[in-house]
Amino acid sequence: MSTTKRSLTTDEKHVYEVLRSTRFLKMEGLSKEVPFFIYHYPPAWARDVEGLRDRVITKLRSDDGLKVVEINLYDLAVQLLKERGVWDRVLALEPDMDKAEFRETLQGMLDPHDHLAPAIRARVDAEPSDMVFLAGIGEVFPFIRTHTVLENLQSVVTGRPMLAWFPGAYEFTRASGHQLRALNLGASDSYYRAKDILEQEA
């Protein structure tokens, strides 16, 4: 589905219908792939998509009796840095530190394998749910890359589907395969295991 033919209204209806469907909830038709899905959208829609996501969660809960655990990567990153007592130091470093060096520092502090995945595992295990939403992706780019997080969650989020709310493009080309392009910027990351929820049948 190209963005030129999309609208928030049609996307919301489609995403909701897919999420509540038996096929999605039972993770059918995945050809042995992990039950990871991506809702990609133009970055300019970010604020409106927050409302869309809230409405979808409310409808799934109230109309379908389904439980969603929502993990916001930005909120989780701040929580982890505060728990380790380095949040104030990070804030003090940011204004004067070289951007590339600052990014590397944060990447070390928030390594997906060592820090994010265990925290997400604890949250998912503590909250029984029918599905997991991964949000806050644009806010943590580029020091947390979506493809790295997804790779590290393959053994963490199991037994239920997960939907990543991705501001940018998830594209397939014969030359490059599946590519995630956060915020529609030039750099792209290969990740082929997630399915585009806009292409799923309800």
pLDDT per residue over 58-117, tens digit each?
999 999 999 999 999 999 999 999 999 999 999 999 999 999 999 999 999 999 999 999
Nearest to 142 by CA among 192, 99, 179: 99
Q: Classify residue 114 as exposed, middle or buried by CB count within 10 Å of its CB (0-12, 13-18, 19+).
A: exposed
What is the pLDDT at residue 179?
83
Amino acid residing at 186: G
Q: Where are the alpha helices (DSSP H) in 86-159?
A: 87-93, 99-109, 117-126, 137-140, 146-153
What is the pLDDT at residue 189?
79
Amino acid residing at 38: I
Quote the tokens at residue 67: 């439980």
Any idea which residue has 């994010």 for tokens?
Answer: 116
What is the pLDDT at residue 2?
45
Residue 40: left if φ>0, alpha if ψ -120 to 50, beta else—which one?
A: beta
Nearest to 45 by CA among 3, 15, 101, 81: 3
What is the pLDDT at residue 186?
64
156 and 92 Cβ atoms separated by less than 8 Å: no
- Give the three-class secondary structure for 187: coil
Query: Which residues of the chain register pLDDT less than 50?
Result: 1-3
What is the pLDDT at residue 3?
47
